[in-house]
Every structure is written in structure tokens, then in C-alpha cells.
Amino acid sequence: MRLKALAAASLAAASLSAIPAAALAEEGSDAAVEEEASPWTGEIAAGIEMKRGNTRSNSYSSNINAERDSHYWRHTFKAEATNEEQYDDNKKAYERSAERYFGSYKLDRKLGYDSPNYLFNIGTYEKDNFSGFQYQWSYALGLGRRFIDNEKHTLDGEAGPGYRQSCVEPQDGYRHCDDKEEQGILRVAMKYRWQISESARFTEEISSEIGTDSTSSRAESVLTSKINASFSLRVRHLVTHESKVPAGKKEADHEFSVGLAYTF
């Protein structure tokens, strides 16, 4: 009996060990595929604009775009900062006239080896002290598809449900909020990339978060032209739009910049 029990235990142990072994083999094959993934690519841009004369102002902007694409996963990271100060002749000092920060992280899981269909989830955070909202953050997930994928052009479209929170007070808050608005949203987005030549590329990203009370939209157009292996000339236009804004605020904001970007 003892021998039979030992044999049964050995057989059970062998059966259980076969499961993680198979899992490890599968993970190993996936890891081998993931090793073929491209490294992180993207650009880091910064700009300074100073005006002197009838108008005295200083403007600073910076942004980072990074992406890593593999057979199963795609990571996309964005971060932006814009600040502007104008000189007040009465106070004899510079005062902040614009301050905006934005960040987002998006993770796509492709539904198969190099499949055009994928599941996405994305989180965003934006703080704009001159928009009427102290900050807004959102999270959404859903289904996407790459409709065009060739050497010259790529086109992605996606849609899915999510949640958004907007904070009106306090003035300097980043997380704590005394007056907040919450709502479910439907996020729809499109991303188009055109490789014009070996040295020039154009991208267009449009997204809308459609809520029951308001809609937030964002459209970013970027044209880059390589100067050398590390730097590019970059032209960028960003439009943000809020369908519902406090009294005295405009629904749309435009940012236009021209400068150098470090590419990696």
C-alpha cells in the first residue's frame, strides 16, 4: 500500500509539474517573439519663445511621445507641459497667463499574432489652470482595429466606454477636489500616420470623450522632418475643445509650435 501510495503521489506530482512546464514553454515562445519587438521610439521636444517690445512675455513648452510595438502588445506614452507668463506694467512683474499639463498611457493587446484587431485601455490626466477646470482625468477601454497598415500609411480606429472626472475646485488641486463632476463616457479615437519620405512623417490623432453632460475633444497634428540621425524639425498644432465650459471661458484652445525635437 505504501508503495502504491508513493507511486500515485509521484504520478500526481509529475502531472502537476507538466502544467507549469507547458506554461513555461508557452511563455518562453511568447518571450522569444517579444524579443523581436521594436525598442521604444519617439521624440522629445522643447521650445522657448520670448517677446519684447509692446508685449513682454515668455512661453515654454515641452512634450514627449513614445511608443513600443510588438506582435502582441503596443505601448503609447504622451506627456505635455505648456507655461506662459506676461509682464504686468502696473505690478512691474511677470504673471502666469497659461499653465497646462497633460499625460496619457495607452496599452493595446492585439487579438492574435500581428492581428489588426486589438483591445485597448487608456488613462489620461490633464490640468489646465486657465480652462475653468482644475483637472480632468479619464479611463476608457474597448476595441480597436488597424484598418491600413503598409510602409507609407497606418490608420487606427477605436471605440469603447469609460469614465471621466472633472474638478472645478480647488484652484491648486491635483487630486483632492471639493467640487467635481463625474460621468460615463464613450471614447472614440483615430490615429493616422503617413511616412512621406525617409526623412519626413506626418501624424494626426483625434479623440473625443462623449459624456451625458459634455464632450471633450482633442486633435493633434504633427509634421516632422529629420535633420540628422538624432534631431528633427517639428511643426505641431493642437486643438482642445470642451462643449461645456464655465462662463467667460472659450470652448476651444489652439497651440501652435515650431522647433527642434530629439528623436530616439
pLDDT of residue 181: 85
Same domain, 2 and 79: no
- Domain membership of residue 152 as a residue range: 38-263
CB 23 within 8 A of CB 49: no
Same domain, 146 and 16: no
pTM score, whole prediction: 0.78
Same domain, 32 and 92: no
Angle, alpha carbons 75-259-221 (nearest 5°): 50
Same domain, 25 and 57: no
pLDDT along the chain (264 residues), means of 10: 36 36 41 59 84 75 92 94 85 81 96 93 90 86 97 97 85 69 95 96 97 93 93 92 79 86 90
CATH code of the domain containing 63: 2.40.160.40
Radius of gyration of the chain from Cα atoms?
A: 24
Same domain, 259 and 173: yes
Question: Cell for 3?
Answer: 508503495
Using alpha carbons, select from 211, 212, 166, 209 the residue that is nearest to residue 189: 209
Three-state DSSP string of 80-103 = EEEEEEEEECCCCEEEEEEEEEEE
Long-range contacts of 76-81 (CB under 8 A, 24+ apart): 76/104, 76/105, 76/106, 76/107, 76/108, 77/42, 77/104, 77/105, 77/106, 78/102, 78/103, 78/104, 78/105, 79/103
**Three-class DSSP category at 231:** strand
Same domain, 68 and 191: yes
Phi then psi dihedrals of residue 68, to 5 deg? -135, 125
Same domain, 9 and 126: no
pLDDT of residue 98: 80
Instruction: Report how far apart, in Å, the C-alpha atoms of 102 and of each of 216, 238, 240, 243 are.
Output: 14, 12, 11, 19
pLDDT of residue 186: 98
Same domain, 17 and 131: no
C-beta atoms surrounding 131 within 10 Å: 21
Structural domain total, the chain: 2
Instruction: Report how far apart, in Å, the C-alpha atoms of 106 and of each of 5, 27, 73, 144 are.
Output: 53, 23, 11, 12
pLDDT of residue 97: 78
pLDDT of residue 225: 95
Same domain, 98 and 189: yes
**Chain-centroid distance, C-alpha 212:** 23
Instruction: Report how far apart, in Å, the C-alpha atoms of 151 and of each of 29, 54, 75, 193 are.
Output: 27, 49, 20, 10
Q: What is the dihedral of CA 120, 123, 128, 132, to 10 degrees?
A: 90
